[in-house]
Structure 1
């Protein structure tokens, strides 16, 4: 019985499509009001590394055949949509963007916001 569970878990780790519910792995929803970007980012990157799709966050060009890359990129985008507070959706998601584009929009938004908050605190 343990062997069967191990096989199932291994298959799920090797197949990112076996886990479309990202909230089971990343329990934090990104929210401007919560100031949780750093922990959210760390968890999401860890999840992407676990499922071997982290290159969709760091490399704007396909690293595998385009059809495979496109499917994986769409999965990462679905994951991102699933763990971002609805108030942020229109700020960071635009039609036709890749996961890389969305990831960078999120980073830019929170880095800009972090700088503004730091200046506010200095005053």
Structure 2
């Protein structure tokens, strides 16, 4: 591909060029801000641009137990993800030996579950309201 660096084994070197994700990812995901959908779209687009979207959606799998390149890219991608989360979210989703795909699913579940609870809370508040004159 034009302009794309690669290693001698043919792997994509583009992800290795990013050391400070916050310079490229201005959105920080926070439970208190309703920015999950924006963060998700931005992050998916960003990852597609760097050729690592397969790690995110789970279609990229290691070639074996000792696929060091896959593990390195997956770990790098996890660091990117952690770099765009608040500390409280990091504490909620960090699990030893997880992949970025499982991290992504945990974040998604956290926000979707939270969204449903928030909708129920708002509906309850709406039902409790009385019209005044």
TM-score range, shorter chain: 0.7 to 0.9
State the 1:22 CA deviation.
1.3
State the 1:61 CA deviation.
5.6
The number of residues matched between the two structures is 116
State how far apart, in whole Å, the 1-side matches of 2:24 and 2:48 are: 12
Aligned structure 1 segments of 4 or more residues deviating by more than 3 angstroms: none
State the 1:64 CA deviation.
5.2
Residues 87-98 of structure 1: matches in 2 within 5 Å? 87-98=88-99
Match for residue 34 of structure 2? Answer: 35
State how far apart, in whole Å, the 1-side matches of 2:100 and 2:71 are: 10
Specify which structure has the higher proportion of helix: 1
Structure 1, unaligned runs of 5 or more = 1-6
Match for residue 80 of structure 1? Answer: 81
Q: What is the TM-score when the length of structure 1 is the normalising length?
A: 0.85
Structure 1 SS opposite 2:120: helix
Q: What is the TM-score when the length of structure 2 is the normalising length?
A: 0.79
Match for residue 18 of structure 1? Answer: 17
Larger radius of gyration: 2
CA offsets, 1:13-42, max 9 Å, x none?
951110121112210100000111000011
State the 1:77 CA deviation.
0.5
Aligned-residue RMSD, C-alpha? 2.2
Tell me: CA distance 1:84–1:17, structure 2 relative to 1, closer, same or farther (3 Å): same
